[in-house]
Amino acid sequence: MKARILDRADALKIVDLLRQQGYEVIAPFRGRGRDTFFETVTDQNRDQVQLHLPNPYYPPKRYVFPHIERLLTVKRDNGDIRIQPSYEEPKRAIFGIRSCDVAGIYHLDRFYLGRDFKDIYYENHRKNLFLVNFVCSDPANDIGDECFCVCADTGPAARDHFDLQLMDLGDEFMAVAGTRAGEALFTNPIFKKATEAHVAKRHAILDQVRKAFKTTTSWFSATVRYVSQGEILDKTWEEIGNRCLECGGCTYVCPACTCFTVSDRQVGPNEIERVRMWDSCGLGGFTRMAGGFNPRRAVHDRRNRRFFRKLAHYFIQRELSMACVGCGRCAAVCHGDIGMPSVVEMIRRATAEVEKRESVSH
Amino acid sequence: MNPLATESVRPRETARREQAENIYLPRIAVLDRVVQEIQDVKTFYWHFDDPGEQRAFKRFLPGQFAEVSLFGVGEFPTSLPPSPTEEETFFTVRHVGSCTSALHQLRPGDKFAVRGPYGNGFPMEDYHGKNLVFVAGGIGLIPLRSAIVYALANRKQYERIQIFHGAKTPKELMYVPNLREWEQTPGVECHLTVDRSADSWSGNVGVVGSLFKKPGVQVPVENTVAFVCGPPIMFRFVIKDLLGMGFQERNIVSTLERYMKCGVGKCGHCCIGVAYVCVDGPVFTYEQIKKLGEDI
């Protein structure tokens, strides 16, 4: 991939360039206190865009898979029904999306656009989306206590699936083109040639950053095997379930969760709209059917489902991508401390205790 | 590779739809007539407004399902009881929740919307040359009706055909005109039973499984596929009976019910074990159902 160098002060000029090209540019901002969020860049807030800051809890997933999205409008007229699908095809760029979230969007691509059925609503949001990935290089600001992208192999620097990647080299920024659209920006004079020294510096910084991750780890490999082979005892799922407050928070902050529910709502005397909205497998009503039968009643069944869906080898292979990108948001928001890293740890410890894994006898 | 793919029911290789197609867009359907089957259960005969849609839809397979839209209320998945060899398209639906209740209030001529067909369906061609045993409890006959009518329309392809249908009372037997017809059809063994008899009932009294031991009934085990559909308790007992007779788990098939909001493997509501019921099922062998590890 081609790399270029730009002045530190010129980084925000990329935002301007994209806006000039007609993109609605989304970028991270710092609120009051610790709070950080993604927001559309305007002339007024353009100077407040920040790159080194904690990754927002509310993931950028909503720009490809909105929290609530209209699918159809249906009008009734004298017994006749007219169905009008609503298509939105925004031209958007996300500036400063972290590597974990880039992997999250890639996972959504695999899920919504892969296999037999293609989701046209997702595709419409995705097809004009331009991703400017920002490499986490400042451990103090960029890397949270819960980050574990190094375990999920998605960061700190994404290897692909972005259009442009920015990395802070200290005095300068390095820009890497991931697609032709990204490379096209390099014609602008703010981009200068990169030297071997720049590439060496990138490697040196990444080396340091990898060692600067905090205490959260998630040893997936053993857990994926245990989950896929069904070696986890019900007792372990129950322990995990007992700690679940059933808030659904983990699924709402997850950049790789895909579930939604569909609902009709009245918007006029003879007009209804059908919307889809994020849903959570952690909530009790998720699998309830008409008449009240619910095949998944216990909390631990639902926890089992969420982690099985994310960790089972079969699904990883089906999407060729894992539904956990190591962003650490679930670990940060969970009041019961059963975010992905804790669950992986609990499973690993519990399974290690199972005697049958011990083959030595006297 | 799909761990479910090695067994006798394969996830169907659905032809990749046209790119421009919106998988969530239902098509307008018109209700033709309504027949009361049993209490709370009606059959709704309908057709698509657009004849082209109707032709395309008619290529469905026994065991597949469709999504029915009642605008303003919602959308729900339902089995397809007609066989593709029949002329008319219809649903048989029990009044249980808000959507089904809205459907029950429709009158002939009213419009609603349908999308589908979805799911894998019964691999009827793989069963050529085999005995078919259908075991249906109550409205479990709805999804099996399609396969039964299909098998009878292609009678030469199959060996023995046995139908076992049980209901709580004689009044709750499903598709009575069909049952009478199947009882009269040469080469079809149709056995009925009720849990609680009524004055007019001269047939068997007992659970469906009691029919297997009735004098004169001999259920073939070798080279046989057993289709089992019904309430969870009936399902468990029938499975026990069939396994006791020597049936192999992979030769027992059923269809799973989940509230599939989308029907196309996206919404996640029907995801159990390694399967999305809507695209990998709803037809599974008992061997697969056991691996999925959730209540039927």
What kind of fold does domain B124-292 have according to CATH?
Rossmann fold (3.40.50)
From the list B24, B71, B265, which residue is nearest A115 (CB)? B265
Same domain, residue pair A240 and A198 = no
**Pairing outcome for strands A24-30 and A36-40:** antiparallel
- Which chain A residue lies closest to B69 (C-alpha atoms)? A264
* Domain end (from A182, A211, A240): A211
* Domain end (from A180, A211, A242): A211
Cβ-based contacts under 8 A for chains A and B: 125
- Which chain A residue lies closest to B22 (C-alpha atoms)? A120
Instruction: Quick: pLDDT tens for A294-313.
Output: 887 787 788 888 888 899 88
Please state, in angstroms and rounded to a whole number, the distance separating the CA atoms of residues B37 and B233.
23
Contacts of A272 in chain B (CB under 8 A): 71-72
pLDDT at B18 over 50: no
Q: How many domains does chain A have?
A: 2
| Residue A215 binned pLDDT confidence (cut-offs 50, 70, 90) | confident
Please state, in angstroms and rounded to a whole number, the distance separating the CA atoms of residues A330 and A317.
23
Q: With CB atoms and an 8 Å threshold, state whether A120 touches B23.
A: yes
Q: With CB atoms and an 8 Å threshold, state whether A260 touches B267.
A: yes
Tell me the backbone φ, ψ of residue A332, rounded to 5 degrees. -75, -35
Task: Pick the closest to residue B282 from B225, B227, B224, B208 (CA basis).
Answer: B227
Please state, in angstroms and rounded to a whole number, the distance separating the CA atoms of residues B192 and B285.
24
In a domain, A60, yes or no: yes
Chain B: give the shortest CA distance to residue A301, in Å: 9
Chain B: give the shortest CA distance to residue A326, in Å: 21
* Domain end (from A211, A228, A256): A211
Contact A342, A157 (CB under 8 A): no
Q: With CB atoms and an 8 Å threshold, state whether A264 touches B259.
A: no
From the list B73, B74, B111, which residue is nearest A81 (CB)? B111
From the list B76, B109, B269, which residue is nearest A287 (CB)? B269
- Which chain A residue lies closest to B70 (C-alpha atoms)? A264
From the list A80, A117, A258, which residue is nearest B111 (CB)? A80
Task: Calculate mean pLDDT across residues B248-270.
Answer: 92
Instruction: Quick: pLDDT tens for A83-108.
Output: 999 999 999 999 999 999 999 999 99
- Which chain A residue lies closest to B101 (C-alpha atoms)? A290
Instruction: Quick: pLDDT tens for B230-250.
Output: 998 999 999 999 999 999 999
Instruction: Quick: pLDDT tens for A174-186.
Output: 999 999 999 999 9
Contacts of B28 in chain A (CB under 8 A): 81, 83
- A 10 A CB-CB count for A318 gives 18
Task: Calculate mean pLDDT across residues A36-55.
Answer: 95
**Pairing outcome for strands B131-137 and B41-48:** unpaired
Domain ranges of chain B: 27-118, 124-292
Contacts of B16 in chain A (CB under 8 A): 116
From the list A83, A117, A118, which residue is nearest B113 (CB)? A83
The CATH class of the B27-118 domain is mainly beta
Q: With CB atoms and an 8 Å threshold, state whether A263 touches B72.
A: no
Structural tokens at position B281: 């099922």
Average pLDDT of the residues of chain B: 90
Same domain, residue pair A200 and A229 = no
Q: What is the pLDDT of residue B57?
A: 93
Q: With CB atoms and an 8 Å threshold, state whether A115 touches B279.
A: yes
Contacts of B186 (CB under 8 A, 6+ apart): none
Please state, in angstroms and rounded to a whole number, the distance separating the CA atoms of residues B191 and B266.
40
Q: With CB atoms and an 8 Å threshold, state whether B259 touches A288.
A: yes
| Owning domain of residue A37 | 3-211
Please state, in angstroms and rounded to a whole number, the distance separating the CA atoms of residues A64 and A75.
27
Same domain, residue pair A130 and A232 = no
In a domain, A316, yes or no: yes
Q: With CB atoms and an 8 Å threshold, state whether B261 touches A274.
A: no
Instruction: Quick: pLDDT tens for B86-120.
Output: 999 999 999 998 999 999 999 999 999 999 899 99
Task: Pick the closest to residue A254 from A320, A332, A316, A314 (CA basis).
Answer: A332
Instruction: Quick: pLDDT tens for A117-150.
Output: 899 999 999 999 999 999 999 999 999 999 999 9
Chain A: give the shortest CA distance to residue B53, in Å: 15
In a domain, A109, yes or no: yes
In a domain, A180, yes or no: yes
Q: What is the pLDDT of residue A357?
A: 59
In a domain, A29, yes or no: yes
Q: What is the pLDDT of residue B13?
A: 42
Structural tokens at position A300: 């631990």
Same domain, residue pair A247 and A130 = no
Write the ipTM.
0.88
From the list A121, A291, A314, which residue is nearest B274 (CB)? A314
